[in-house]
Structure 1
């Protein structure tokens, strides 16, 4: 626990007055209500940040009724809902109060500007050496098989000539023509292949079915797999040996398939969701 960050140090004044001596409003603001609920639950800002993965600076700003770091009304409402659940209070009155103070409930907005501080440029991917190696192996195996077949055919022709002797009337059996096979290049996994996800890996498919949303995906080492805007109708598939971490900027427009199974969570429009899936899911990690 951080020094100077205990719930007791943040309790409101007992006489109902603020630090400047003025009386508090009858109904506390959104930030003050979240702060009071957190203190009543015996939680520190560090505890809430760890439970929700919302940065400490943003938690402090929201409790001070400063929603600028959230990146807009849609995401401010998502943070309010997340923090309210963490401190065991009903988010509905807080969201209504926020909407009253900020001109009503906002329409969903593009999520691209969200979490600029967390965004990392995607790693530059090198050449696909795996595909090149597979193609080379297929070519070598095909050449060796064709050579062995031709060699066996020549030996059978010689044996036939020795058996039949020099008789001109003996008919030589027609040698079967070698069948040639064309190696087809390996293609990317289809949706049906994704549905039959391997048991030794975690496979997550993200589809923007009802709109567009910014998404971020990382593997178990924290390496960025994707970071950007997923347009309506687009899909992305991520696979890792043990874990995939997701951030959904507007979870309400997203449909998830984890290890071949559809996730039935009722994500709300405009809600920011941070999810972790492992090989044993579709339960949330």
Structure 2
């Protein structure tokens, strides 16, 4: 009985003959006549990340979810089918990652309507009318008592009336503010507020506050929305940016993101500007 390796151990592995993911992407880029800068510009993936992936270093991607998105984006840019490369990555890194549960969110604050103030002008006018009416009623009854003993041939004595003082001009009512179209249209001006909506496809998203606190890291399904808020800045990563509709500080961001594209964005107070 032999203690050494069996004949099966000496067989060449099929997987050993397959080029690495980084080598495949680098070779396809060279064949297409593209530079790293040109690939970075077309995919909006930063140059250091493109260089690291071509060296099979995925530590700069920020996790398996984003590494898979970068691989797919770069493969399409150099004319490769992304599915085999993504499957190879999953096989080499423990399979497809499962989404993590959502962390508590900072929901956008809604502006509460101010309580209605009492209309003191109307109350004052009503009080004056009541006092004048009571005085006129008293004078009318007193004059009627004297007329009961004296009758004039020409007819009844004219009634005495007291003219009413002119009512003070009422102040025009303050115009009511127009109701906002949504809670996002009334966001606080001293904070940065971001709303993400998955329109027609799911997307992996990550959101952090200015101090680095993780607000959310998980899957946003089609039809779902998430809203985040911070005093200074929000940092976002969109795994499938083309499926996301983005509102920043009440204003829709009109950037056209492609399906499967990975985006890293930062927003602060005021008009939205992509970081």
Q: TM-score, normalised by structure 2?
A: 0.48
Which has the higher Rg, Structure 1 or Structure 2? Answer: 2
Q: TM-score, normalised by structure 1?
A: 0.47
Q: Which has the higher contact order (CA 8 A, sep 6+)?
A: 2
